[in-house]
Amino acid sequence: MKPKMYLLVLAAFLFSCQPDSIDDPLTSDLQNITAKGGNANLKNGNQKGNNENNEENNDDQSTSGGCNTIFANGDDGNATCFIDDGFRRWGWTIGPLSSGEYSFNIYGGAGQCDIEKGTLTGTLNLSYDEASGTATVEYLMEDGFVLKETHLYIGNSPYPTSKNGKETVAPGQYPYKHNDLNDLSRDSYTVEGLSGEIYLIAHGVACEGEATDQGDDNTDDDGNGGDTPPDDGEEPVCASCQGSVDSLKLQYLGQTAAEAVIIQQSNGAVVFQQTLQPFEEFEISGSFGENIQIMIENQLNATFITDCSQVIGPGVPDGSFVIISGTSTEGGVLCIEDIF
């Protein structure tokens, strides 16, 4: 065989003996690193999702002392969870409702509107007559549960609106309320001036305990939804904020105890510092300047404008707090009418 032909045959033979792919150690190592990195990212993503779920479910927790936020839940598909309408807290709006007699279950601690997580604490009875425009609402608690406060909304829209015209589900913004119920087993309202089909939101705070009312009637017959008026029948004198705010009574709505620090923003002065329990009320007084900021565990939680440049008074919420009452330097007691 000629030398050139021999070389060609030898080259073809050697080429046919090579493997289909070359096992490159560097390429293999890079692939392993990429795979491990992908698993690490997936794990971190799952962890983040779990953390978000935990934060989202914070309102599932019961308050201390066996107390819970409560809401009435409708039946026959006539109740809508706040969360389904884009709000960030649980609870239900019930309706539309025409004339008739209704009975709804009241649940406590049903975070995310999951009644399986909650506790059946009572019954809400509604009697509505379109012809007269009158509705009577009654909270009746189960044995072993008592009422601390109730907040009620009834109207032609699914949700009440704040003064700026936006829909709200904050109980402090509901137009009818009874505070300081002192462990009653029942509470009721009579609301007049209604028309057409209505919607209902019934909120409250209930605790485990023995009732103190022994069947006393706590009906609010004046239809204005306020607390029981003074014995002399006169409305308390109040006015819009004038001058500047010089005292506030606030309620902490958080689900767990937390350290709160209130700072006067203009000069950084600390006007209040205390560990607050869920639903605890407290008072502050003094000269606050333009506004006060409330820090919870060193994080800004709420800001209230105190120079009377914006509406302020009972029912105004921000963050985990709501104003219960207050006074201003030139106007005296702040009116709730300034809010609704």
* Residue 22 pLDDT greater than 70, yes or no: no
Please state, rounded to an integer, the average pLDDT across all residues of the chain. Answer: 77
More confident residue, 17 or 180: 180
- Rounded Cα–Cα distance for residues 160 and 325 (Å): 20
Q: Are residues 173 and 282 in the same domain?
A: no
Residue 50: its H or E element: helix 25-56
Q: Are residues 112 and 216 in the same domain?
A: yes
Residue 296: its H or E element: strand 291-296
* Residue 26 pLDDT greater than 90, yes or no: no
Min mean pLDDT across 98-102, 212-216, 310-314 is at 212-216
The total domain count for the chain is 2
Q: pLDDT confidence of 218, banded at 50, 70, 90? A: low
Q: pLDDT confidence of 65, banded at 50, 70, 90? A: low
Q: Are residues 215 and 271 in the same domain?
A: no
Q: Are residues 266 and 323 in the same domain?
A: yes
Give residue 220's pLDDT. 52
Give residue 242's pLDDT. 80
What's the token pair of residue 3?
A: 């030398």
Amino acid identity of residue 140, one-letter, is L
Give residue 119's pLDDT. 93
Is 231 within the bounds of a domain?
no
Percent of the chain with pLDDT over 70: 72
Q: Are residues 162 and 271 in the same domain?
A: no
Of the residues 182, 203, 220, which one is the last residue of a structural domain? 220
Is 285 within the bounds of a domain?
yes
Answer whether 227's CB lies under 8 Å from 178's CB. yes
Alpha-carbon distance values, 148 to 109, 130, 152, 205, 211 (Å): 15, 31, 14, 5, 10
Residue 195 sits at φ, ψ, to 5 deg, of -155, 150
Is 42 within the bounds of a domain?
no
Q: Are residues 166 and 261 in the same domain?
A: no
Q: Report the range out of 99-108, 173-182, 308-317 with the highest average pLDDT.
A: 99-108
Number of Cβ atoms within 10 Å of the Cβ of 202: 30
Is 269 within the bounds of a domain?
yes
- Rounded Cα–Cα distance for residues 31 and 22 (Å): 15
Is 48 within the bounds of a domain?
no
Q: Are residues 314 and 268 in the same domain?
A: yes
User: Reduced to 3 states, what is the DSSP secondary structure of residue 332?
Assistant: strand
Give residue 63's pLDDT. 45
* Residue 154 pLDDT greater than 90, yes or no: yes
- Rounded Cα–Cα distance for residues 303 and 278 (Å): 19
Write the pLDDT tens digit of every residue in 123-150. Answer: 999 999 999 999 999 999 999 999 999 9
Is 37 within the bounds of a domain?
no
Q: Are residues 210 and 277 in the same domain?
A: no
Is 2 within the bounds of a domain?
no
Q: Are residues 90 and 215 in the same domain?
A: yes
84: left (phi over 0), alpha (psi -120 to 50) or beta: alpha
- Rounded Cα–Cα distance for residues 241 and 248 (Å): 12
Of the residues 187, 220, 253, which one is the last residue of a structural domain? 220
Of the residues 220, 237, 266, which one is the last residue of a structural domain? 220
Give residue 70's pLDDT. 94
CA 165 to chain centre: 19
CA 185 to chain centre: 24
Q: Are residues 169 and 214 in the same domain?
A: yes
Is 278 within the bounds of a domain?
yes
Answer whether 257's CB lies under 8 Å from 63's CB. no
Q: Are residues 76 and 216 in the same domain?
A: yes
Domain range for 266 is 245-338
Q: Are residues 196 and 259 in the same domain?
A: no
Answer whether 244's CB lies under 8 Å from 307's CB. yes
User: Reduced to 3 states, what is the DSSP secondary structure of residue 306?
Assistant: coil
β pairing state of 134-141 and 176-178: unpaired
Write the pLDDT tens digit of every residue in 303-321. Answer: 999 988 888 888 889 999 9
Residues pairing with 141 in the sheet: 122
Q: What is the dihedral of CA 324, 327, 332, 335, to 10 degrees?
A: -30
